[in-house]
Chains A and B, each alone.
Chain A
Amino acid sequence: DTAVSQTPKYLVTQMGNDKSIKCEQNLGHDTMYWYKQDSKKFLKIMFSYNNKELIINETVPNRFSPKSPDKAHLNLHINSLELGDSAVYFCASSQIHGYTFGSGTRLTVV
């Protein structure tokens, strides 16, 4: 019974493809996030949703589109994948302070 689960764990795809990463949390938290860990290991916020509403949208290309069908799910869809999108993507949820992270999705664009 993983608290924050994301699938798939690994994703290898060609440039130009469209792919989705799914995230689900069973903690009852109101807020969910997507973070990107780049090649320099920085964890940078991409999006934040509170109760299905977009709260934070950092300067992320509009090829990235989050979708929150309900407050327990936050999926990330990426169109026209580019080499620079290769990274580890972490989903997280929070209630007040502190996040609970998923185990990450390693995306490799070839």
Chain B
Amino acid sequence: DQQVKQNSPSLSVQEGRISILNCDYTNSMFDYFLWYKKYPAEGPTFLISISSIKDKNEDGRFTVFLNKSAKHLSLHIVPSQPGDSAVYFCAAKATSYDKVIFGPGTSLSVIP
């Protein structure tokens, strides 16, 4: 019973182009969403987050969009750089319950 889904296991993008990573969730109690980035043999590191009261949050090259009615969020990286190549995890939590649920991850390859 996956509450957080990332339907694309992998994505390849040319350097300089936009990377769009998608995430869907099923639990309407989720009110906070996070993206984590993970390199091999390292722990996930926090990238960007968004509260359900917003529909967009931007931090440098990274922007997260939230569509609550569709229960969908996306992470945009522009321009993509080779150092962005990693696995990206979408995660969600309900403030009333301190448990973050992770999606299965999308492996992004940025080709020079």
Contacts and interface: CB of A to CB of B under 8 A. Distances in A.
Do A and B originate from a single complex?
A: yes
B42 A31 contact: no
Contacts of A110: none
Given A41-B104, A43-B44, A90-B44, A97 B99 contact: no
Interface string B38-63: 00011111100100000000000000
Q: Is the interface on chain A under 10, 10 to 19, 20 to 34, or 35 or more residues?
A: 20 to 34
Prevailing SS type, chain A contact patch: strand
Contacts of A4: 43
A97 B32 contact: yes
B102 interface: yes
Interface in A66-87: none
B100 A45 contact: yes
Prevailing SS type, chain B contact patch: strand
Contacts, number: 50
Contacts of B104: 40-42
A103 B38 CA distance: 10
B110 interface: no
B34 A104 contact: no
A91 to B, nearest CB: 8
Contact of A97 (B49, B89, B101): B49
B100 A99 contact: yes
A76 B2 CA distance: 26
Nearest to B43: A101
A45 B99 contact: yes
B105 A31 contact: no
